[in-house]
């Protein structure tokens, strides 16, 4: 599984009355990935109900293209989930509030399983460069399991006694600096990062602006809290025909060391990673409708 295949990951509380219909891709048939949540989206007193609901879902979960993950509230809840009949049907787990102190406990609980993990970066560790480096070293040992690292934007802002206002992109808040730090710490080592959620479901303009910035930072798999956000996010994951043709030109076996494509300088030695990602995005999401194609010109 590739992180690009996650699309916009929809979080659904484990208490949701139509959880089975969502997980079986009946309610939202175009959904690519869903995260059944037993953590912040569920009150502590409702945790038993959420676990019972997930247990029922697992028994009747169908084999579809939908990638299903569960976010356990804590390690005890993860242990409970691993004992459920049908747990092997899910792709993996979103691990909350991961830091160097608790990662060994999470991984010890998952020892002997083949589940993918998506650790969430949402604690004071993100503000501590040395702690981040320690966490990165630990995650590198588990990299074969790590599908993506998720950025917990609301938790990080909460540590600053802040939350975003309507119309304000994450990149217009201290989250922008934190995202920059996480990109620099993890992307060069081969980790994908998933962008945080935008809390307002009726403000498509800011969601579009923010998702475009996510792409500039190389973030894929943005968290969605409402199904209406999913097609907006995923439409922006499509590629333009210009980028597609440029990427193909860069990756061509006979590409010159340096050449001009339209008004852009292309250098395969430095642009190949970008070009491959464009081709991968095209394979999953296709091309923007009505995008304009330019012809390469070698100078």
Give the residue from 67, 68, 76, 66 showing the smallest Cα distance to 96.
76
Give the pLDDT band of residue 69 (cuts 50, 70, 90): very high
Cβ partners under 8 Å of residue 272, min gap 6: 250, 251
First to last CA, the chain: 40
259-261/92-95 β-pairing: unpaired
On the question of pLDDT at 33 being above 60, the answer is yes
CA separation, residue 90 to residues 33, 55, 115 (Å): 11, 12, 8
pLDDT of residue 2: 87
Let me know how long the chain is: 299
Q: Given the structure tokens 């787990």, which residue do they identify?
A: 93
pTM (predicted TM-score): 0.92
Give the pLDDT band of residue 289 (cuts 50, 70, 90): confident
pLDDT of residue 291: 56
| Three-state DSSP state, 277 | helix
Give the pLDDT band of residue 71 (cuts 50, 70, 90): very high
Structural domains of the chain, with CATH: 3-235 (3.20.20.60), 241-297 (no CATH)
On the question of pLDDT at 294 being above 50, the answer is no
pLDDT of residue 296: 47
**Tell me: the pLDDT tens digits for 256-266?**
999 999 999 99
Q: Given the structure tokens 């320690």, which residue do they identify?
A: 134
On the question of pLDDT at 79 being above 80, the answer is yes
How large is the average pLDDT for residues 214-233? 95
- Sheet with 264-266, edge to edge strand ranges: 264-266, 259-261, 296-297
pLDDT of residue 80: 97
Is the Cα torsion angle 44, 45, 49, 55 positive or negative in sign? positive
How large is the average pLDDT for residues 84-112? 97
On the question of pLDDT at 34 being above 80, the answer is yes
**Tell me: the pLDDT tens digits for 1-27?**
789 999 999 999 999 999 999 999 999
pLDDT of residue 295: 46
Q: Provide the mean pLDDT of the chain.
A: 94
Tell me which long-range contacts 173-178 makes (C-beta under 8 A, separation of at least 24): 178/126, 178/127, 178/151
How large is the average pLDDT for residues 55-83? 97
**Tell me: the pLDDT tens digits for 99-156?**
999 999 999 999 999 999 999 999 999 999 999 999 999 999 999 999 999 999 999 9
Q: List the beta bridge partners of residue 261.
A: 264, 296
- Contact present, 73 and 48 (Cβ < 8 Å): no
pLDDT of residue 290: 66
């Amino acid at each position: 599984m590739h992180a690009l295949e996650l699309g916009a990951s929809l979080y659904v509380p484990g208490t949701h009355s139509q959880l089975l219909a969502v997980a079986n891709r009946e309610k939202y048939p175009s959904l690519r990935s869903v995260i059944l949540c037993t953590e912040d989206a569920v009150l502590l007193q409702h945790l038993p109900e959420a676990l019972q609901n997930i247990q029922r879902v697992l028994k009747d979960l169908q084999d579809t293209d939908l990638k299903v993950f569960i976010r356990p509230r804590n390690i005890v809840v993860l242990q409970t989930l691993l004992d459920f009949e049908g747990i092997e049907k899910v792709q993996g787990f979103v691990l909350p509030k991961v830091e160097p102190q608790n990662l060994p406990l999470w991984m010890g609980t998952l020892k002997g399983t083949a589940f993918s993990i998506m650790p969430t970066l949402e604690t004071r560790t993100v503000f501590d460069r040395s702690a981040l480096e320690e966490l990165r070293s630990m995650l590198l040992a588990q990299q074969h399991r790590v599908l993506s690292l998720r950025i917990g934007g609301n938790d990080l802002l909460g540590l600053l006694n802040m939350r975003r206002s309507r119309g304000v992109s994450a990149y217009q808040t201290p989250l922008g600096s934190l995202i920059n730090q996480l990109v620099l710490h993890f992307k060069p080592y081969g980790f994908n990062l998933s962008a945080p959620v935008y809390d307002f479901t009726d403000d498509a303009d800011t969601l579009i602006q923010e998702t475009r910035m996510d792409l500039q930072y190389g973030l894929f798999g943005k968290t969605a809290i409402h199904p209406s956000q999913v097609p907006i996010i995923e439409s922006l994951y499509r590629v333009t025909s210009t980028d597609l043709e440029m990427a193909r030109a860069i990756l061509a076996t006979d590409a010159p060391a340096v050449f001009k494509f339209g008004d852009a300088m292309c250098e395969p030695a430095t642009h190949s990673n970008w070009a491959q990602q464009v081709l991968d995005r095209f394979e999953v999401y296709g091309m923007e409708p009505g995008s304009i194609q330019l012809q390469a010109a070698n100078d």
